[in-house]
Chain A
Amino acid sequence: MPQVPPQPEPEEHLPPQPGPDPEVEAEPKEEPPQAPKPSLDGATSALQDATLRIEGTDEALLRACDGTLRGPGQLAHGRYDLLIRWPDGEEHLEALELSPGARVTVHVDERDRSCVVRTA
């Protein structure tokens, strides 16, 4: 008998996505949003992992010592370089150490070119 793994929620159960205002022979105000797709990333969780949130920019990433680049979210504890790209393309580097189980938030202010790291 073939093995049947657990199935993800079928997209058929998704509610319809909201659309733009209806118009009569006129251009709508905005594009309708797309239905989300399920993620196939089988990320594992561990008690030792830290959780990192970055606020104020989507132009930031973390570089681990092996050169792997990650985004915010659940990360193995350890040392990282926090790399922020300012709007003019200049890059900012800040050392960041995530301790086991830490919940860290980085607040970035692109106008002041500043970032504040807070650990809960």
Chain B
Amino acid sequence: MSEAQLAPQWQDWIVDNALAGVDAPELIETLVEGGVPEALARSEVSAILASPGLRAARKLNRRVDRRDALLGLLQTLERGHGRGIERVEGLSGDEFYARYVRHAQPVVLTDVARDWPAVSKWTPEYLGQVLGATKLQICEGRDQLEHPDRDYSRCVSTTTMAEYAAKVRAAGVTNDLYMIANNRVAEQPEFAPLFDDVGLDERYLTPKRACSFWFGPAGTRTPLHHDSCNILFCQLRGQKRFRMLAPWSARLADAAVGYYAGETLEQAIAAGERGYEVVLEPGEALYLPGWWWHEVLALDLSVSLSFLNFREPTTIELRGADATED
């Protein structure tokens, strides 16, 4: 007969509670109440409390506690300033960077793309004509997946822009069909003529363009996630709704799966987070600071460009295993 061993999850429980400050007698008492033989409980608690792993974890825990406190401070400050998400027009570059970028504060810029020819020209038919043969990776069957964005590779296929544009026109309201994120379509040579329809707002951006192209049916929903860099999201056709949460929640950060939140926006707000909603009209742009949580819903058939080429770029990538989970 094998010797009794404590289940690994009980061992984890001892570590978690020791780190939370529970002392040895209480740990042993709870283990015994839970049915663990007293001798086994004593030896396991003693071994774990003396382990170098726990000493290292205590050090790490103190660092995490301090960072959680700082995040709590930022969260309190963010909730207290009461600015909401402003909509502004005619903002100079200096004001933009001073009031918004350097404070990681989202803002809707109502005049960035208002006069671009793309706002009137970029219909599905036009995109299908101009980019007709351009190869494109799309996801179909997203509704079959619990996490269609995280697991996009399970429903990805290659098509042409002409075929995709026809599908989008016929799709109606659905989340079943979308281009893959980071599709790099805008970097393809075939896309170059389309940039004649797009202006460069030198107040905010550098001439060396870095952008992504978004085109899909009404009903396309991107779940709550964050990016690692600042984005200027320009809405060109249809309305798009953004719901956002500030990045200062330690609870949300702890539960994240890679760049995706471990819960829905509704659940996060029910748990006490404060959110913000904006609906972008064609011609408007949302400045979205890196690490802000956001969920996006296309209220209409939607075409957008997002730009990364800021005059003062800020990118903070995830490091380690967490970055590769998705």
Contact = CB atoms under 8 A, between A and B. Distances in A.
A89 B26 CA distance: 45
Nearest to B32: A22
B73 A40 contact: yes
Q: DSSP majority for the A interface?
A: loop
B318 interface: no
Interface stretch (B7-15, B160-168, B177-185, B300-308): B7-15
B270 A60 contact: yes
Contacts of A111: none
A1 to B, nearest CB: 22
Interface residues of B, number: 52
Given A14-B20, A16-B27, A68-B84, A41 B9 contact: no
A114 to B, nearest CB: 18
The residue in B2, B16, B85, B266 that gathers the most chain A C-beta atoms within 10 A of its C-beta is: B266
A22 B272 contact: no
A117 interface: no
A10 interface: yes
B78 to A, nearest CB: 11
B7 A26 contact: yes
A27 to B, nearest CB: 7
Interface in B70-112: 72-73, 75-76, 79-80, 84-85
B195 interface: no
A38 to B, nearest CB: 9
A97 interface: no
A37 B65 CA distance: 10
Contacts of B276: 67-69
Contacts of A59: 264, 266-267
Given A59-B264, A85-B264, A89-B175, A71 B273 contact: yes
A25 B2 contact: yes
B21 interface: yes
Contact of B275 (A20, A25, A61): A61
A118 to B, nearest CB: 19
B266 A32 contact: no
Interface of A: 10-28, 31-32, 34-35, 37, 39-42, 54, 58-61, 63, 66-73, 83, 85, 89
Interface of B: 2, 4-10, 12-13, 16-17, 20-22, 26-27, 29-31, 34-36, 68-69, 72-73, 75-76, 79-80, 84-85, 175, 221, 243, 250-251, 264-267, 269-278
Closest 3 CB pairs of A and B: A40-B72, A69-B275, A12-B21
